[in-house]
Amino acid sequence: MNAEVPLVVASRPDCKGVQRAVDAGLDCITICRRDFAGIKEFSDAVFGALRTKQVDLVTLAGYLSLLHIPDDFRHRVLNIHPALIPAFSGKGMYGHHVHDAVVARGAKVSGCTVHLADNEYDQGPIVLQSSVEIPDEATAQDVAALVFDREKIAYPEAIRRVTSGHLHLDGRRTRLVFPDAAAAKQPNTP
């Protein structure tokens, strides 16, 4: 993937992502939600930092704080959720809570969803979903491992789709639209 990571923003200083970013030599800062009066002030700080680095696309990965997405970042923030939205999604459905719920419900299929984030939990337009079958005796940890393996493929593919210039929104749906090659070769006629 032809991409640069100009900044990593963590919501907690003790998360694994901070150490991974530092080990990779990436610029990493922590902006803690609890240090701000509200979501708007917190979000202003996060997106202010992203603007200073001229970030084109924000990819949330394990970022558990709700963000208010400003207009200039609308449809430029991707999130990955460890279930097939709308199932097992929304406030409180993150990490192991999702996989515990999948096993408790006896679901036969789970997976991951990459979506354009908006100002609500797991409500934005879906870019890509990828499913996994759940073995009958699977534990929540087994489901987490199966889904994580799928996430490692799905998230880069979703990023490619968004950055390709071919992803178009049609209401709440996303569609990959490619110019018609045959029409492009037609000569212009008066």
Token match 């240090």: residue? 35
Q: Does the annotation mark 115 as catalytic?
A: no
Q: How far is CA 117 from the centre of its chain?
A: 7
What are the backbone dihedrals phi and psi of residue 106, each rounded to the nearest 5 degrees, phi first? 75, 30
* Cα 146 to Cα 130: distance, rounded to the nearest angstrom: 11
Cβ atoms within 10 Å of 40's Cβ, excluding its own:
12
Burial of residue 69, with CB atoms counted within 10 A of its CB: 0-12 exposed, 13-18 middle, 19 or more buried: buried
Cβ atoms within 10 Å of 170's Cβ, excluding its own:
9
Residue of 75, 81, 96, 166 with catalytic role: 81
* Cα 34 to Cα 190: distance, rounded to the nearest angstrom: 63
For residue 87, what is the DSSP state?
T
Catalytic residues: 81
